[in-house]
């Protein structure tokens, strides 16, 4: 192993202070987000983390299945931030930055794809699923789920996904990665809760995948445009063929490579 590879395999220590201060390790579960959700309802404290070696029913955004065999990292955290309920969805952006930085620390050239994907060369390395527990408008807890393809790839996504080992070009120690991930995600959660989205958006845009397009529905009409960045509230900004900028929100939009769309 070269000196550079050694450095990448063992980045400088950086410790989380509260994220993971309580940690539950499971060989297998249905979904760590469900486990963390149960713990949150039972009063688990801010920063409690659940990690599983495999999940039977891992889930992603929009009800998609998150294939979760052994060899991946499946981690969920219970947070009790003092933010309004409407501020929960953009927290995904802050978590993504921490996740991206953790992967880059180990040499993976990772970039962010709105709203919750981490990519390496168009292949998915990791994803974030943020869920809120609330009573009316009062936020009780946030469950932050992070799935990372660490050593192996689920067969079903072998064409479209990439493992951290492949992206970094070296085997990554699972515990070293978890330590980096918790420390970096903690830092960005603190920034988001303490300062707000204005501290997150420039950092997210710096790490954003370039050259992407998106298909969206705006005021009931289909639109395809070039991704130009984020608006002040975290909405995605698209430029159409006429040069006009449109705001689109999660749920109405699919981010794609321009080659997928003949019109761009
Ligand atoms: C996505 O890309 O759509 C989000 C994927 C999130 C997967 C993680 S794995 C840990 C946690 N438990 C789940 O069931 N989902 C999240």
Q: What is the pLDDT of residues 163-192, one digit of tens each?
A: 999 999 999 999 999 999 999 999 999 999
Examine the pLDDT at 129 and tell me if it is beyond 60.
yes
**Distance between Cα 6 and ligand 1 center (Å):** 30
Give pLDDT, residue 11.
Answer: 61
Q: Which two tokens stand for residue 253?
A: 């939009």
CA atoms within 13 A on the CB side of 221: 5
Q: 213-256 is classed in which CATH architecture?
A: Roll (2.30)
Instruction: Name the token pair of 236.
Output: 């995605």
Q: Which of 29, 54, 58 to mutate to test the pocket of ligand 1 (most atoms within 8 A of CB)?
A: 58
Q: 124 and 156 in contact (C-beta within 8 Å)? A: no
Whose alpha carbon is nearest atom 1 of ligand 1?
60
Indicate the pLDDT class of residue 152, thresholds 50, 70 and 90. confident
Q: How far is the CA of 1 from the centre of ligand 1 (A)?
A: 33
Q: Which atom of ligand 1 is nearest to the CA of 57?
A: 14
- Taking the CA of residue 59 as reference, the ligand 1 atom at the shortest distance is 14
Atom of ligand 1 nearest to the CA of 147: 9
pTM: 0.92
Give the distance (Å) from ligand 1 centre to CA of residue 58. 6
Q: Which atom of ligand 1 is nearest to the CA of 146?
A: 8
Burial 47-67 (b: 16+ CB within 10 A, else e): bbbbbbbbbeebbbbeeeebb
pLDDT band at 13 (very low <50, low <70, confident <90, very high): low
Q: Which two tokens stand for residue 31?
A: 């979904």
CATH superfamily of 3-206: Bira Bifunctional Protein; Domain 2 (3.30.930.10)
Cα 145 to the chain's mean position, in Å? 8
- Ligand 1 centroid, distance to 202 Cα (angstroms): 25
Confidence of residue 156 (pLDDT cuts 50, 70, 90): confident
Bridge partners (DSSP) of residue 246 are: 238
| 105 Cα distance to chain centroid | 16
The pLDDT value given to residue 3: 53
Backbone angles phi, psi at 168, to 5 degrees: -90, -15
Determine the average pLDDT of the residues in 21-50: 98
**3-class DSSP state of 110:** coil
Query: In the prediction, which pLDDT does 250 show?
Result: 72
Q: Determine the pLDDT at residue 155.
A: 85
Residue 73 CA, closest ligand 1 atom number: 9
Ligand 1 atom at minimal distance to the Cα of residue 117: 2
Q: What is the pLDDT of residue 262?
A: 39
Q: pLDDT class for 162, splitting at 50, 70, 90? A: very high
Question: Domain map of the chain by residue range?
Answer: 3-206, 213-256
- How confident is the model over 206-222, as pLDDT tens digits? 999 988 998 988 888 88
Ligand 1 center from residue 247 Cα (angstroms): 26
Phi, psi of 53 (to 5 degrees): -80, -30
The pLDDT assigned to 177 comes to 97
Distance 146 CA to ligand 1 centre (A): 5
User: CA–CA separation, 253 vs 114, rounded Å?
Assistant: 10
Rounded mean pLDDT of the chain? Answer: 92
Tell me what pLDDT residue 264 has.
36
Q: How many CA atoms lie within 13 A of 105 on its CB side?
A: 23
Tell me the sheet residues that pair with 148. Answer: 73, 126
Nearest to 122 by CA among 210, 5, 23, 192: 210
Q: How many alpha carbons fall within 13 Å on the CB side of residue 35?
A: 25
- Ligand 1 pocket, Cβ-based, cut-off 6 angstroms: 31-33, 55, 58-61, 64, 66, 74-76, 116-117, 127-129, 145-147
Atom 9 of ligand 1 has which residue's CA nearest to it?
147
Q: What is the pLDDT of residues 217-261, one digit of tens each?
A: 888 888 999 999 999 999 999 999 999 999 988 766 888 876 554
Is residue 49 predicted with pLDDT exceeding 60? yes
Query: How many angstroms separate the CA atoms of 264 and 241, rounded?
Result: 8
């Amino acid at each position: 192993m070269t000196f550079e590879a050694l450095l990448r395999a063992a980045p400088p220590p950086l410790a989380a202070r509260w994220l993971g201060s309580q940690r539950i390790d499971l060989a297998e579960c249905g979904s760590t987000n469900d486990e963390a959700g149960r713990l949150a309802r039972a009063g688990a404290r801010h920063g409690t983390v659940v990690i599983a070696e495999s999940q039977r029913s891992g889930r992603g955004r929009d009800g998609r299945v998150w294939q979760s065999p052994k060899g991946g990292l499946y981690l969920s955290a219970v947070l009790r931030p003092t933010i309004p309920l409407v501020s929960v969805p953009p927290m995904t952006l802050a978590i993504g930055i921490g996740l991206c930085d953790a992967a880059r620390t180990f040499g993976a050239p990772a970039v962010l794809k709105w709203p919750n994907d981490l990519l390496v060369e168009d292949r998915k390395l990791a994803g974030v699923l943020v869920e809120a527990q609330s009573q009316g408008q009062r936020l009780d807890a946030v469950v932050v789920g992070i799935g990372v393809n660490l050593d192996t790839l689920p067969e079903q996504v072998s064409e479209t996904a990439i493992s951290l080992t492949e992206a970094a070009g070296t085997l990554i120690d699972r515990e070293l990665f978890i330590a980096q991930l918790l420390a970096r995600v903690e830092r960005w959660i603190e920034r988001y809760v303490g300062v707000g989205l204005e501290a997150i958006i420039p950092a997210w845009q710096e790490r954003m995948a370039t050259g992407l397009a998106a298909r969206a529905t705006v005021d009931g009409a289909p639109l395809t445009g070039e991704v130009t960045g984020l608006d002040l509230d975290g909405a995605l900004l698209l430029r159409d063929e006429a040069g006009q900028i449109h705001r689109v929100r999660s749920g109405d939009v699919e981010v794609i490579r321009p080659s997928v769309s003949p019109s761009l």
